Structure 1
Amino acid sequence: MIDETGSINLRYSPGRPRTARTKDAINKVKKKLQENKVSSRKLALELGISRTSARRILQDDLGCRPYKYLVEPALIQEHKEKRKTFANWIRTNFRKQETVKILFSGEKMFDIDGVYNTQNYRIWAVMVWLGVCSKCVFPLVIFDEGTVDHARYIEEVLPVALKYGNHVFGNDWAFQHDGAKPHIHQLTQQWCHDNFPGFIDKDHWLPNSPDLNALDYCI
C-alpha cells in the first residue's frame, strides 16, 4: 500500500460494506421525518431494514434523540398562591428597570417542524439550550450526544450564559432557569450564586409555570 500510494491510509474502509445505513437510506429517513413523525419501528418496516439500523441512522447519522411529548396538568390553587408570592418577591427585590435585565433560559427540543404525531408521542429531535433577554438572543448550545446532567450543564451552558450576560449588561443583571433536575442540583445552584451578578434560585422560581419564561411559552 505504501509503495502504491505513498501513504499508510487505507484506500477503502475495512470490514464489510454498509448495506442498510447507506446514503440513500439516510436521505429517505430524513425525508420521512420532514413529512411526518414516525417511530423507528415504522421506519424500519417501510425501508426494509432492521430496527437497530433505523435507530442508528436516526441517532448516529442524523444526530437525533427520542423524546416523549408530555402534557402538563393545569394550575391548581396552590400554584396560584405561589404565583402571588413570587410576584410580591419580584416587586420587593427588583426595581422596574432591573426586570429588563433578567436573562431567561431553557432547554428545548427541536425537530423538523414541531408538529407532533398524536398517535406516537415519542419524537426524534435535538436538544438545545438558549438564552434570551430584552436586548438579544444568546448563542445556542447544542447537545450532540447523551443526556444533560448537572455536570454537563455547569461545564457547557453556564459559562456561555455568564460570558454573554456580562457582555450585554455588564455586572448588573440576573440569571433565570427553571426547576429541571440539572438546574436545581446543589452544585449548579452554588455555581450560579458564586458567579452570576444576580440569580433567581430554586427556592423562588415557580414550578408548573412555563408561561413565565419566554422560552417555555413560545419561540
Structure 2
Amino acid sequence: MFDIDGIYNSQNDLIWAVNLLAADTNGGIRQKRKFPQKVMVWFAVWSKGVSPLVIFEDGTVDHDRYIKEVLPVALKFGHDTFGADWTFQQDGVKPHIHVKSQEWCEKHFPCFIDKDHWSPSSPDLNPLDYCIWDEIAHQVHWDAVTSKTTLINEMKRAVRKVSLDVVFESCSSWTNRLYRLSQVKGNYLR
C-alpha cells in the first residue's frame, strides 16, 4: 500500500537532532493527511526482473479480486517467462491463503507452495519484503506525487527504474536466507 504522503514508518524512521528545527531540516517533521489517497500495488520478482504491475486504485483486495485481477497476471507472466517449469510463491495474507485462492493456484500453476508449506509471516524469505519494496519507495519522486494519478505514474516509473542488479542480488540471497532461517529455527533474521 502506498499513499500520496510518501513512505513514513514512525516505528523505524527516527531523526536524532538537537531541536525541532534541526529535525525538520533533516526531513524529520512530516505532515500527514488524515485520509491520504492510497493505491495498492502487486507484482512479482524473479532473479532477472519483475512482472507487470497490478494497481488497485480503489478499495481493498479480497480473495475474489485477487483471483480475478492478480493470479491471471502471475500465471501469464510465469508461463511467458519460464514456460511450464516454475513455482509460484506467495505470502500469508488473507486473499492468498483463502481456500478459493489456494484451489485456483493448485489448478492453474505448474507448481506452487501452498499455505500449509510456507510460513504465514515470512518477510525474511520474500525478496519484495526484505529488499524490493524499499528500492521502489526510494525510486519514487515523492515531491511529484500530489494525487492518486501522479502516485500511480510514479509507481510505474519507479518499478522500471529498479536496478536489475538489486533484483538479482535480493533473489540470489534467498537460498542463504532460507538456510539461515532454518538455523535460527524460524526466528527473524538479524
Give the aligned partner of residue 116 of structure 1. Answer: 9
| Contact 1:116/1:123, CA 8 A, preserved across alignment | no
Query: How far off is 1:117 after superposition?
Result: 4.9
Query: How far off is 1:218 after superposition?
Result: 2.0
Q: 1:129 aligns with which of 24, 37, 42?
A: 42
Based on CA coordinates, which of the two structures has the bigger radius of gyration?
A: 1
**2:3 counterpart letter in structure 1:** D
Residue 197 in 1 paired to residue 90 in 2? no
Q: 2:96 aligns with which of 164, 171, 183?
A: 183
2: CA distance, partners of 1:116 / 1:208: 19
Greater helix fraction, Structure 1 or Structure 2: 2
SS at match of 2:84: coil
Q: 1:209 to 1:123 in 2, by over 3 A?
A: farther
Gaps of 5+ in 2: 12-29, 133-190
SS at match of 1:115: coil
| Contact 1:130/1:138, CA 8 A, preserved across alignment | yes
Give the aligned partner of residue 131 of structure 2. Answer: 218
| Contact 1:210/1:216, CA 8 A, preserved across alignment | yes
Q: 1:146 aligns with which of 44, 59, 67?
A: 59
Superposed structure 1 runs of 4+ greater than 6 Å apart: none
Output aligned runs, 1:23-172, within 5 Å.
109-112=1-4, 113-117=6-10, 124=36, 125-172=38-85
Write the deviation string for residues 140-171 of structure 1: whole angstroms up to 9, x where unpaired: 10011111000000000000000011000000
Percent identity between matched residues is 64
Q: 1:116 to 1:164 in 2, by over 3 A?
A: same
Q: 1:114 to 1:123 in 2, by over 3 A?
A: farther
The TM-score normalised by the length of structure 1 is 0.47
2: CA distance, partners of 1:126 / 1:117: 20
Query: How far off is 1:115 after superposition?
Result: 2.4
Query: How far off is 1:179 after superposition?
Result: 1.1
Give the aligned partner of residue 43 of structure 1. Answer: none
2: CA distance, partners of 1:161 / 1:207: 20
2: CA distance, partners of 1:175 / 1:202: 12
Query: How far off is 1:209 after superposition?
Result: 1.9
Q: 1:179 to 1:203 in 2, by over 3 A?
A: same
Q: Which has the higher contact order (CA 8 A, sep 6+)?
A: 2
Query: How far off is 1:217 after superposition?
Result: 1.4
Gaps of 5+ in 1: 1-108
| Contact 2:91/2:121, CA 8 A, preserved across alignment | no
Query: How far off is 1:208 after superposition?
Result: 2.5
2: CA distance, partners of 1:188 / 1:181: 9
Query: How far off is 1:131 after superposition?
Result: 0.5
Greater strand fraction, Structure 1 or Structure 2: 1
Write the deviation string for residues 164-213 of structure 1: whole angstroms up to 9, x where unpaired: 11000000000011111111111100100000011000001112321100
The TM-score normalised by the length of structure 2 is 0.54
RMSD over aligned Cα atoms: 2.2
